[in-house]
Structure 1
């Protein structure tokens, strides 16, 4: 986004001044000091479940609300920290009674029901590894992940079992047990009733010694080719979850927090389960899928103070003509954070206009385990920027030379690979069973993120695109995000996805796929208007030369526009792994 556009609009943004002295914190920050926030296990070591639930249940916060669950059919359940301690202890005892040992992987395939959140903590209590799956995966992606992760047990529902598991279960050689959330009776020695097991289980459980480097969570990421990769995280990752809960989400004990992400994605575990409970705050969970009116009512009725969502959700809200602060009482809401893909400047300014506050973008990956770069609440927000590195995070823009060496790029505005210096606690420790792939992620003592970015004179980082998304046209390197953001400034455009299309003369031409706002007609005149709009904003060399209207753009279930899928379909290429595609 052009600098003058930022300066023109920045005066509209509300900033809370000097909550955190950024430069002072960066200089004095030490990761090991974060450990002072935690009790540690009575028997020794560090366990996420103890610090997230039991620590509070054993304190004056025992009767404080930990979880508010909102069912899609108007049900509501409330769990205190004391109740969560007992319920998660029962689940841990079930796992122990089945002989499931430390380090063995327990998969979950479930809607966002209370049992899923109870199980997540119970699995960690028993020192098993939680492997969350998104409930809308099909049998193929489920089989890939469960085989790749050496699944020992699975938590699911009767419906999901019959629809997605029964046909493939015999192809998962290590699978010993399937626990059915809503089945009153055992179906066999392998397919068991969770309610029966819980009824027989004790609500007291002593967590055994847990090394901070013990595996805790296994998330799978998908690429353009090949099998999904199992990303290994450890219990010490909670240092990052707590730190980012403080600096980025600005969590305080009296907050009501809502992360809209499903635990099948890393955001839904790191920030939908772990971070809020490490801070002892009330955590909202909504079972239903996106619905604008429902979401606004939840923000109002549950008095949400901190909201963590995704750009795709923001863009969906933008497509609806409404005045949310007039129609709903959102006075308790004080901070909105966004993650999943870069937040377009237009979306941020929509937040200022419609929600009366900026939406703060941040950047991280499944591999980083937690937020690395963010627009902090105490700093000026630059529309389109991912923000600045957090205390304890050493981020830089680099160039990887042909011989594998690394050169740091210090010139403001110069593009390169976004890289991080290893050492933050939530850094992934491995790709399960794929050491070669893991080692390729590191060059010159840096983790190479695969994202291209640049840093401005104020130390803010700006996303350019995935390394394999960059478009080379007429000698220019064009980042698709820049083009998408410019198109979204047009009042007719709801979303845009941009790719490079092979061209014999200029190498690649820039093509944009555009989704229009409700009530806007897709016409040839509008295409020409958008092409002209792009040229005015970006210049003829960078602006899209082709535009195609689509009702919906392909996105992952976590909200990222799948540019590689747009490109594959445009060129008739193999689509690769589509298991994360939003249906």
Structure 2
């Protein structure tokens, strides 16, 4: 039997029977009951400090937190913004919220006051759980967020905030998870759009169930008891995907590194620890592949590696195979779904290809009429509305939800083509969304920040090709006084954007122009600017 035939059999045999009630945290608790002493989370920082949680302690700590939630009046269905860094507490807090039936709203520690205010008011959030540094960002806007009534600080104490450590100190370690319906909201993640504010993506309790059965099983591939390192940080949908659901749901040990990215440090950690599975971003893989004498680093236990966030270069895949003997398997998904397409375990990897559709997920290339196009034809990458991993719509936004679908298909916004063997190849974005180092950035958010600077008349932000990050944000800026154009003005505008919105959104390149290309109706033609950047890079 060929590899392709094995894949076809796998797809045909796949079935998913989602129970009527399901709670991911209860599943983890059940595993913990049988494996109390197994390591669940290993955390370390740049200084070499180490903290660990066994499954038994993780269950007990998340039970204490769930009991504390009742005491402070948070109940099933309440929406809670979580702003935590890579930490043991992130795992405890997420599990406690899920088992209590409250809705988790993941948020990056890089969010700025404007970002927090938008999410809180759009979702009607009732509480914020945050670590020390970011509480100041919340304090700037808490008076503008009338639904926020509960503020919990993790790791320190502060006036106006309730200490997490004090809350859980005397709570019982026994707790029975709330019975949650599979179609009940569990996660509310925000993702950038081409216009307007970020979209609130609704995922139900059925989503982690389906994700485990598909992505965690056929792509991520951690086995019970194995240590796995997924480098995504809390606050992103990808953290829920891999570091959280895929590892704990499969009985693995989550390796957490709370330090700045450095390619040699990452390679050293793989040599030091028994990490069997690595899931990193293309940018991180690209920079690791550039390390001199990469073969010096001999991974202690690495047997499997995967990547997601943006297309992975063939050169990177070749470097890891040549120097470390590991084939990095690319995958493709979005906040709105899970893994849609992947180079699955046991499937022939075709460098440069996304891979093949996930078992149980109907992914096709369609045209503007919603019809599947022939092999080799470029079209829109779309997933059928019946896919078990698909989101349940955008919160309070019927218009943008409807716009995301074309007939029976959810349209991802990316374009691609299918070869004669069913492998899908990425061709580019069909819209103006910018993906840089795995971050999804809407041009509107960058432009909105820039035009708030008194010297900016108008601007446009687009994706510009970059060898390390895939793409960077580039802004074309028309100044009110063109003579002000200078390197100093570039730095001033960059800092201005960093202060108004999450720093990863700032334009790494700024070009001052006299005017912007527009349609006859006055709409900026970002597509023209984007095409010029692509041509310039070739």
TM-score of the aligned structures, taking structure 1 as reference length: 0.74
1:409 pairs with 2:373? yes
Q: Per-residue CA shift, 1:185-220, capped at 9, x if unaligned?
A: x734xx211111111221111112110111111110
Tell me if structure 1 keeps the 8 A contact 2:153–2:164.
yes
Match of 2:183 in 1: 213
CA separation of 1:273/1:17 partners in 2, compared to 1, >3 Å: closer, same or farther? farther
Unaligned ranges ≥5, structure 1: 1-15, 471-479, 485-509, 518-549, 577-583
Show CA shifts across 1:10-59 (max 9, x none): xxxxxx98599211111121111xx5xxxx7xxx82101111x2011122
Task: Return the alpha-carbon distance in structure 1 between the equivalents of residues 512 and 99 of structure 2.
Answer: 45
Residue of 88, 103, 106 corresponding to 2:80: 106
- Verify the 8 A CA contact 1:234 1:426 in the aligned structure 2: no
Cα distance change, pair 249–570 in 1 and its aligned pair in 2 (3 A): farther
1:63 corresponds to which of 37, 43, 49:
37
Whole-Å separation in 1 of the counterparts to 2:377 and 2:513:
31
1:380 to 334, 348, 351: 348
Choose the corresponding residue for 1:445, options 400, 403, 408.
Answer: 408
Residue 563 of structure 1, CA deviation:
12
Equivalent in 268, 288, 307 of residue 338 of structure 1: 307
- Write the deviation string for residues 300-331 of structure 1: whole angstroms up to 9, x where unpaired: 222111100110111222343232x32x3314
- Do the aligned partners of residues 443 and 515 (structure 1) sit closer, same or farther apart at CA in structure 2, a change above 3 Å counting? closer
Give the aligned partner of residue 491 of structure 1.
Answer: none
Greater shift, 243-252 or 17-26, is seen at: 17-26
Following superposition of structure 1 onto structure 2, how do residues 24-63 of structure 1 map, counting pairs within 5 Å?
24-32=9-17, 35=18, 45-51=21-27, 53-59=28-34, 61-63=35-37
Match for residue 245 of structure 2 among 257, 260, 274: 274
How do 1:462-473 and structure 2 match up within 5 A? 462-468=425-431
**SS of structure 2 residue aligned to 1:307:** strand
Change (3 A) 1:72 1:516: closer
Give, in whole Å, the separation in 2 of the partners of 1:340 and 1:358. 17
Correspondence 1:305 to 2:295: no
Partner of 1:138: 112
C-alpha displacement of 1:512? 6.5
CA distance in 2, matches of 1:571, 1:335: 51
2:219 paired residue among 235, 241, 248 = 248
Tell me the distance in 2 between the aligned counterparts of 1:366 and 1:567. Answer: 28
Mapped to 2, the partners of 1:263 and 1:31 lie a distance apart of 28
Go from structure 1 to structure 2 and tell me whether the alpha carbon gap of 1:156 and 1:511 turns closer, same or farther (over 3 Å shift). closer
Q: 1:138 to 1:512 in 2, by over 3 A?
A: closer
User: Which secondary structure does the structure 2 equivalent of 1:380 belong to?
Assistant: coil
Q: Normalising to structure 2: TM-score of the pair?
A: 0.80
Distance 2:468 2:393 in 1: 41
Instruction: Indicate whether 1:169 and 2:154 are aligned.
Output: no
Equivalenced residues, count:
467
> Displacement, 1:137?
1.7
**Structure 1 pair 512/202, CA: closer, same or farther in 2 (3 Å)?**
closer
